[in-house]
């Protein structure tokens, strides 16, 4: 069964601190993995996307890693800001034979709260 599991479920950190969010998946066949940021009541916004051959990708203060062998990914946020408070969702795309269409499987997200 295709699943995406994230941990921790929620996290509270102080402004300026770093944090790491985890994602484990069982989606197969794997196409790519994305991290999205979702503010309350808004649609998800893409932060990073990684394919099978990529093991790290950065976007400003966000750095995502991927271990395709162990089917694990992490999102590291450095020097957190109050505006980082949001849900961070790991999304894995499954490829389809003979098609470029990929179905997305979403994790439940990690709710990050940054306190001043």
Partner 1 sequence: EPEVTQTPSHQVTQMGQEVILRCVPISNHLYFYWYRQILGQKVEFLVSFYNNEISEKSEIFDDQFSVERPDGSNFTLKIRSTKLEDSAMYFCASRTSGRETQYFGPGTRLLVL
Q: Quote the least distance from Cβ 108 to partner 1, whole Å.
A: 5
Would you count residue 25 as binding partner 1 (CB under 8 A)? no
Would you count residue 108 as binding partner 1 (CB under 8 A)? yes
Would you count residue 34 as binding partner 1 (CB under 8 A)? yes
Please give the C-alpha separations between residue 2 and each of 46, 57, 96, in angstroms, as whole numbers.
21, 24, 13
Residue in 23, 25, 31, 66 binding partner 1, rule: CB under 8 A = 31
Closer CB to partner 1, residue 1 or residue 14? 1
Would you count residue 107 as binding partner 1 (CB under 8 A)? yes
Which residues of the chain form contacts with partner 1 (CB under 8 A)? 31-32, 34, 36, 41-46, 49, 89, 99-109
């Amino acid at each position: 069964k295709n699943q995406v599991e994230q941990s921790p479920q929620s996290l509270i950190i102080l402004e300026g601190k770093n944090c790491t969010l985890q994602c484990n998946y069982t989606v197969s066949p794997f196409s790519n993995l994305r991290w999205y940021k979702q503010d309350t009541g808004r649609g998800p916004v893409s932060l990073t996307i990684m394919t099978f051959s990529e093991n790290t990708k950065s976007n400003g203060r966000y750095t995502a890693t991927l271990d395709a062998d162990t089917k694990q990914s992490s999102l590291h946020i450095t020097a957190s800001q109050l505006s980082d408070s949001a849900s961070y969702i790991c999304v894995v795309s499954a490829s389809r034979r003979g098609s470029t269409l990929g179905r997305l499987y979403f994790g439940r997200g990690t709710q990050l709260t940054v306190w001043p």
